[in-house]
Structure 1
């Protein structure tokens, strides 16, 4: 008996195929084959193809791809084989930029980079900032000209382009508006105009993403803090510190944090402002994080008065605090009587303090009135 053959039409591929009647009728879209020329060229550059397939497999299916052209440009800037492979592994989309786009970017970046070596260093750390679509080039060029017209150091401009490329891809009018808002706030708070360029350079280098924030948000936050009793001088101090910069915050978030901190510390409005000025980062932390950190200090016998004296310890995670307390305790240091300052700082700062405690314990004390032991000679 002959087996019946049924002709079906694939709903995706729209062509007739012959299948047995009892077979599954499902149809799947076949992915296009990898561009073998691309794969071979990447192998030739010792690029980890497995990593590319895992992270950005779609790049290997695109045509055209400019693997050798990207490698040639990087080599011309002074990059060695390891750097070239690392850049492509980190940002495979680089090979989809046309030679014209890459050349245009090189010319643009060299207007703010002191040397090709500096540019290679930027590309190695921020490849996505360099290998961009041609549709952004005009905005990039206009924004470079704008920041240079402000007298901003070229190195700062290149740092902005690398760290916050979106701010240079957006229309220059948006950056002009935010910079004008920053300048107005700076002068309104009583700062001197002749210091403004230095202040703006420092601010942008510390927090390049400020350019992506809303000017209205910054104004709302400054107004909120002013209503909470911060003077113009105090607001200027906050505005000048990276961790106290108020574009990252919102009035509602700060209100919850300030209310909780004041209730927990049991302090006055004036005392709370002093705590914030010592530790602006306190404004950032949500209530659950602060709750955990306060509770952990209380659990080891630290008083609220000690925390108010050294509030920057609240910037440390619970794990870091407990680890440092145990290390200090091993050398006889009690934070309940010796103060919290020894906990503060970066890992390097703490290791220095810890090292001094070691020396103090291991070095014998010299007694100036003790008799000298004479030799038998």
Structure 2
């Protein structure tokens, strides 16, 4: 993902980055750094050594607009340390024309709740903001299109930040993919009244779904239908997989399903039930599943426990082993108890451990309560 985002540079940056290093006019050993740029970055407390190591070619370019870009960010409310972090992570920003950046700010503010929010986005996704001016019309058209779908502005902003390529390309390409998603939702029995919320959630959880080929979605749904999943179950998978169904292909799913069925020793109907509990099983490669099954079985966990709580297979072996050892200190035996306690985020797990700790320390009787005496 970082590699994809990094390609979204300003027009000048794209031109320079596209040249082989031996052909860049300012990237040879004989060329001198632009001292005005270096001094301006020093004044802003930017980590120059990091810039030299990762993107030293930027320091050789003329003209550069370091002060202007910094002033633009500060005008939006960015503090000095934030400006320094942004320019250290994405020094190409100093090569972007200030007028273009002002246009970018106006464009983003048409969907961003506040300038403070925009600064936060730029800090996390600088390449998405400092992009080519040649993409401006496409960005504008795509914003208008997603607004016409009545999507929440925060969702549109998130799409622009995390999947900028989908806004840099012609709006027609996004229209095709959105129509494909909407048609699939309706054909699988999704209610019209809930479609906007469903689409909004899908795009929020997996913005890159827009960049996939529409035919991939249909091929995968047809494959799963042939494996016996009902229309309602396919809709459930399409929703719960957060768009990852477009990351898959029939061959990989066939291998994974075959391996899972052979390992578990279940019928196809039983396997479908397990998949509905844990859709992630569809996209984990056989090698990863083999490692995770082996790790769970090696500590005495039974296959019936795994099939009852298959989401445990979403956790890495390292995380599972750590959590099992932690539970042992709380005298919880995963071989006889529910595996639900292993699941969830780190915060969820810590909360479960806290409850087990309280249960362990709670006295069996209240020592200060008066004893009941018969008579």
Same fold (TM over 0.5): yes
**Greater mean alpha carbon deviation, residues 326-335 or residues 315-324:** 326-335
Task: Summarize deviations over 1:226-260 as a string: whole Å, max 9, x none.
Answer: 10001110010111114573011111110000000
Equivalent pair of 1:164/1:209 in contact (CA under 8 Å)? yes
Deviations 1:67-90 (A, max 9, x none): 011011111111111111111011
Alignment partners' CA distance in 1, 2:195 and 2:360 = 49
Q: Does residue 327 of structure 1 match 2:338?
A: no
For the residues of structure 2 that align with 1:110 and 1:161, how far apart are their CA atoms?
Answer: 12
8 A Cα contact 1:207 1:242, kept in partner: no
2:199 corresponds in structure 1 to: 200
* CA distance in structure 2 between the partners assigned to 1:131 and 1:372 by the alignment: 74
CA positional deviation for 1:135: 0.9
Q: Give 3-state SS (helix, strand or coil) of 1:335's partner.
A: coil
Equivalent residue, structure 2, for 1:58 = 57
- Which residue of structure 1 aligns with residue 144 of structure 2? 145
Q: 2:280 aligns to what? A: 281
What are the within-5 Å matches in structure 2 for residues 248-259 of structure 1?
A: 248-259=247-258
Give the aligned partner of residue 130 of structure 1: 129
- The answer on whether the counterparts of 2:63 and 2:95 sit within 8 Å (CA) in structure 1 is yes
5+ residue gaps, structure 2, are 1-21, 23-27
Distance in 2 (CA, whole Å) between partners of 1:136 and 1:157 is: 16
Higher alpha-carbon deviation: 241-250 or 335-344: 241-250
Q: What does the per-residue CA deviation read over 1:41-61, in whole Å, with 9 as the maximum and x for residues that have no partner?
A: 111111111111011100000
Question: Which residue does 2:295 correspond to in 1?
Answer: 296
- Partner of residue 44, structure 1: 43
The structure-2 alpha-carbon separation of the partners of 1:158 and 1:244, relative to structure 1 and needing over 3 Å to count, comes to closer
- 2:363 match: secondary structure: coil
Distance 2:276 2:355 in 1: 29
Distance 1:335 1:372 in 2: 37
Shift, 1:138, TM fit? 1.0
Note if 1:81 corresponds to 2:80. Answer: yes
Instruction: Give, in angstroms, the shift of residue 30 of structure 1.
Output: 3.9
Q: Aligned residue for 2:335?
A: 336
TM-fit CA distance, 1:367: 6.7
CA distance in 1, matches of 2:195, 2:123: 32
Stretch moving more, 29-38 or 261-270: 29-38
Alpha-carbon contact 1:217-1:247 (below 8 Å) kept: yes
8 Å Cα contact 1:243/1:281 also seen in 2: no
Measure, in 1, the Cα distance between the counterparts of 2:153 and 2:310.
37
Query: Which residue is equivalent to 2:230?
Result: 231
The residue that corresponds to 2:173 in the other structure is: 174
**C-alpha contact (below 8 Å) 2:206/2:243 kept by paired residues:** no
> How many Å separate the matches in 1 of 2:230 and 2:277?
15
Structure 2: distance between partners of 1:350 and 1:254? 30
Q: Which residue of 1 aligns with 2:11?
A: none
The aligned counterpart of 1:7 is none
**Mapped partners of 1:267, 1:350: distance in 2:** 30
Report which of the two structures shows the higher radius of gyration computed on alpha carbons.
Answer: 1
Match of 1:94 in 2: 93
My pick for the range that moved more, 68-77 or 333-342, is 333-342
SS at match of 1:240: helix
Residues in 2 aligned to 1:53 and 1:313: alpha-carbon distance in whole angstroms = 44
Contact 1:139 1:168 in 2 (8 A): yes
- Residue number in structure 2 paired with 1:269: 268
Q: CA deviation at 1:372?
A: 4.0
| Aligned 8 A contact 1:206 1:242 in 2 | no
Tell me what 2:153 maps to: 154
Equivalent residues of 1:187, 1:193 under 8 A apart: yes
Distance 1:127 1:53 in 2: 18
- The C-alpha deviation readout for 1:119-175, integer Å capped at 9, x for no partner, is 111111111110011111111111101101111111110110001001101111110
Distance 2:244 2:47 in 1: 41
1:190-212 per-position Cα deviation (integer Å, ceiling 9, x unaligned): 11112111111111011100011
